[in-house]
Every structure is written in structure tokens, then in C-alpha cells.
Amino acid sequence: MPHDLDIIWYTRCPVPTASGIAIHNGWLEQEFESDGISVLSLCASPDQSVRESHFDHRQGDSFRHGGNAPPIWSRSEGNDVVVVGLTWLPQYQSLLTLPDSGIRSPADLKGRRLALPRRTHEKIDFWRASALQGYAQVLASVGLTLDDVTLVDLPIDQPYIGKVAASNTGALFDAHQFASSARAETFALIRGEADVLYNYGAAGPALQEFLGAHVVADINHHPDRRVSINNGTPNVLSVSGRLVREYPEFVARYLCQVLRAAQWARANRAATQAIIAREVSVAYEWVPEAFDDTVYQNLEPSLAPELVRALEVRKDFLYEHGFIRNDFSIADWIVPGPLARARELLQERSLAEAGGTQVEA
């Protein structure tokens, strides 16, 4: 089809995603090679403003797969971005304390000091928002509120996106940045300036082991799934609005490869674990502790009503606590057509392969 696209850009967070698997396997580049379109990571650009699109989604003709706070912020600021898929990521998410703190359960948090990092130069401070919501929801589960604790403000000058070498397929976050992500709150805990910290993601199990920490709340496995709603629950697959409006079939073909990757992950768990370890910058052995076995069944994007409701809860929290300035409708933000078409394409291609014929994209 005629088009004016030279590059389709993408970015993904350092979490398990089907997008990351499709990137690793080279399927996105292969999909658009015959169209003369390069498919590149934002990391391929040396321009910091292009790289910052990971958070503000200002780079045109781009896809993003990962935590929900940045795309919610971007939409609230009026940027041209739409949601085409959601996933629930079963990942490490805990409140930790030192063994001698006397805090054994969420009920013991009353009157305690909770570490709350604050990035001083970021448009959307997703880690602070995540910690605050983690605290608020655990407290609410035992009849407490944020007014019952002391939030210890921890200013941090280090940016989220540092100096990472340019790469056509690489991620914007490397092992150095990942290892330092919870430095401020960890030192506050060790120095006795705070009693509890919140942590989530692949680095969490290693931090827990390093501290010999007591888990005050295992949020990921809380019996009420609503307590787990946060930055990665649900993850958001978003795309520039222009691509959806002008090139919906290209968007569907991109998503078809993401769906293919999710199916491949279910059938190739060992290989997927190795890809995830690389994507999240941790040793292979940490992956099962950071992401439980259900991760392999949760990589396929959908627009299930439960996920949409969770995204609404997340957006409302960010608005209520001042992380976004403008409210908006989640229902109006979601565009279901490309994912539905991608499922059709995947089925058509699967049938063609089973019949030994080739279907043109």
C-alpha cells in the first residue's frame, strides 16, 4: 500500500512483554521489510528528545509497551496517543522492612515512616506514583489511610533515562540504571530514616535478599487483585494516533507479530525466560522469583473488561494525587479495531501455513 513512512519507532519498559520477544526474534523488522519501512528502537536515536518519547509519546509513528503511568500522563497532556492493548503483569511487588523493625504485617504500619522517592526533573514520576499507590492500597486493605503513616520524601536528581549506547533494537534502560533504581529508599531504610520501602519489578527479589528483609505485604499475591493495581497492572500497549487513523492495517500487522510472540512464549518457556532476563537486566535465575509462572500466560494483549477497569482505577489514582493535571475518559482512549484485526491476521496466516500456502501481508 502507498505510504509516507520511513520508520516505525518502538520502545518498551524493562519488563516482560510480547513486544520485547517479537523484537528479540526479529519479527517486527521482517514484517515491514517488504514495505521499505525500518522498525527501530527509540534507543537508535542519539537525540535525547526522541528518547524521552518513552515517557511523553511525542515521537510520531511510534509504539510503546510497558508501564501505564507515562501514557496516561501523555494522554492527559493532550498528546496524540491511543491504547490498543493491555496486559496484566504478575510481577514482584512488595513492602519491605528490616527484620528488627517490629513490623510484621500491614496492620503494624500505623505511625511508621514509609520511604517515598521523588525524581526532581521528571515529567511523570512513575516510581513515586507506584510507591504511593502501593502504600495506599495496602493500608486500605487493613482499614488504614496515608494519614496514618509518615511519608519520608526522598529527592533524587538522577534521571530515569541515562546515557545508554545507541542501538537499533536495544532498550533505553540498562543494568546499571536498573541496579540503582531503589538506591535512595534502600539507604533511607539502612540509615534508619525510614521503616518501610516499596519495590516492584525484576530487581525486587535481589534487593529483598540483599537486605535480608521481611516482607510486610506481598502485593503481587494479595487475595484481592485490586490491591495489585499499579504501574504494571495493567501494562499498556499504546501507539501514535496518526498510525491508527491513517495506517490501521500497519498497526494491525505490528500487533499480529506481538500476538505471535505471546503464543510463542507459551510454547517456549525456557527460551522466553532467557529473553525476559535480558530484557529486565537480571540473572536468569531471578526471573521465576520476580515473575511467577503465570507470566507466560499473561503476555498476550487484550482489552478484557477487567483490565480496562484496572486502567480506570490507575488513572483515577494518578489524577486524585496530582500526578496528572487533566482527567479524561479511558473508554474514549481505547481503540479496539487494530487488535481485533490483528487476531484475524494471525488466524489467516496460521491457516495458510497449515495449508502450505503463503498469505500476503
- Buried (b) or exposed (e) across 64-86, using 16+ Cβ within 10 A? bbbbbbbbbbbbbbeebbbbbbb
Looking at residue 146, its pLDDT comes to: 98
| Amino acid type, 262 | A
Q: What is the pLDDT of residue 216?
A: 98
Placement of cell 498469505 in the chain = 359
Give the CATH class of 7-88+232-354: alpha beta
- C-alpha 277/C-alpha 286 separation (Å) is 8
**Backbone angles phi and psi of 298, in degrees to 5:** -115, 15
Instruction: Output the nine-digit C-alpha cell for 284.
Output: 536468569
pLDDT, tens digit only, all 361 positions of the chain? 678 999 999 999 999 999 999 999 999 999 999 999 999 999 888 888 888 888 888 889 999 999 999 999 999 999 999 999 999 999 999 999 999 999 999 999 999 999 999 999 888 999 999 999 999 999 999 999 999 999 999 999 987 766 777 777 777 666 666 667 789 999 999 999 999 999 999 999 999 999 999 999 999 999 999 999 999 999 999 999 999 999 999 999 999 999 999 999 999 999 999 999 999 999 999 999 999 889 999 999 999 999 999 999 999 999 999 999 999 999 999 999 999 999 999 999 999 988 865 444 4
Spans of all domains in the chain: 7-88+232-354, 93-228
Three-state SS for 157-168 is CCCCCCCCCCCC
Q: Examine domains 7-88+232-354 and 93-228 and report if their fold is the same.
A: yes
- CA 351/CA 356 separation, integer angstroms: 9
- Give the Cα separation of 253 and 245 in Å (integer): 14
For domain 93-228, the CATH superfamily is Periplasmic binding protein-like II (3.40.190.10)
pLDDT for position 175: 64
User: Alpha-carbon distance 117 to 62, whole Å?
Assistant: 30
C-alpha distance from residue 280 to each of 48, 57, 170, 284, 290 (Å)? 22, 21, 12, 10, 10
CA–CA separation, 53 and 22 (whole Å): 21
Place of cell 510520531: 60
pTM score of the predicted model: 0.93
Strand bridging mode 62-66 / 235-240 = antiparallel
d(Cα 328, Cα 330) in Å, to the nearest integer?
Answer: 6
